[in-house]
Amino acid sequence: MTPKTPLPMPVIITLMVFFDSLHFVFGRLLWPLVPPAVSSFFIMFIAAVLWTAIMGVRRTIDVAVLRQNLPFFGLLGFLLALDLVLGYASVEFVDPGTAALLARSSTIFSIGLGVFWLKERLNRPMILGTAVALLGVFVISFQPGDYFRVGSLLVLVASFAYALHTAVVKRYGEGLDIGNFFLFRLWATVPFALGMALLSGEWVVPVVGEAWLWLVVTAVVNVVISRMVYYAVLRLVTVSYHAIVLTLSTVLTVLWSWLLFGVWPTLASVVGGTAVVVGVSIVTRFRGKT
């Protein structure tokens, strides 16, 4: 089912870019207050309860969607929990701007999944773009200091998990009602996020009011609003155009990092991040011409 969009296309795309740019910013804001794995669980739980209430009021919950697609939602739940936990953990080691630059490598992972799983073909510009982006990833990841390497590894694994999730959704989830898809996608993530929080050895129930405030704000903005806009746009435009537009969110994240935390990426991160963005742009520009 194609979602109805009461807003003009430029407006909804601008909203997607804006909200997407806040992902690592919220992770950095929560990091001093709640352990990453724990915050990931509470964020997903709050978002799931909120969306259930919305769907319940509208009387549009269809449990058959879950029953008929249980393995699909189970896989999504694991991948999304892994992405959120590792992504939020990465901001302990790298600034949000650098994390966002490196996270754009998810497009390259998507291309790889398309080639090896969906049997898509690469043309020469796409191969060139992939090489440029991978060079950028190498430059960012192998800066002096173990912190950068650990942070880069966390972002890369998280990016791969999200890219795999996107490929699975494009292949098996396109025909599902978007409201019920999002509902069961949220609830499928909750048990995996809880398991990761318990296994982290850092389980704690937040007692500070500020922590709960940011958890609720993050659940509403970074999950419910951001991801609904993300999926709505994904159904309305091509994957290539979607990826190109999301590249703009990286620039905003760098600016957020500077304005809110006074942190600017290192020169190597800027050079490597620029290579990633350029490489991704080349790949997505020529992807539709394969």
pLDDT at 109 (0 to 100): 76
pLDDT at 188 (0 to 100): 97
The three-class DSSP label of residue 154 is helix
Query: What's 109's DSSP letter?
Result: H
Taking only the tens place, the pLDDT of each residue in 36-64 is 999 999 999 999 999 999 999 999 999 99
* Start-to-end Cα distance in the chain: 27
pLDDT at 240 (0 to 100): 60
Taking only the tens place, the pLDDT of each residue in 115-165 is 777 566 667 887 787 778 777 767 765 666 555 568 778 888 998 898 888
Distance CA 244, CA 283 (A): 9
Stretches in the chain below the pLDDT threshold 50:
1-3, 290
Q: Which two tokens stand for residue 153?
A: 């590894």
Distance CA 59, CA 89 (A): 37
Q: Which two tokens stand for residue 66?
A: 């879950």
pLDDT at 145 (0 to 100): 58
Distance CA 90, CA 104 (A): 15
How many of the other CB atoms lie within 10 Å of CB of 70?
A: 11
Q: Which two tokens stand for residue 226?
A: 């951001």
pLDDT at 212 (0 to 100): 96
The three-class DSSP label of residue 35 is coil
Burial of 125 (0-12, 13-18, 19+ CB in 10 A): middle
pLDDT at 290 (0 to 100): 47
CA-closest candidate to residue 182, choices 225, 241, 218? 225
CA-closest candidate to residue 159, choices 105, 115, 111, 196? 105
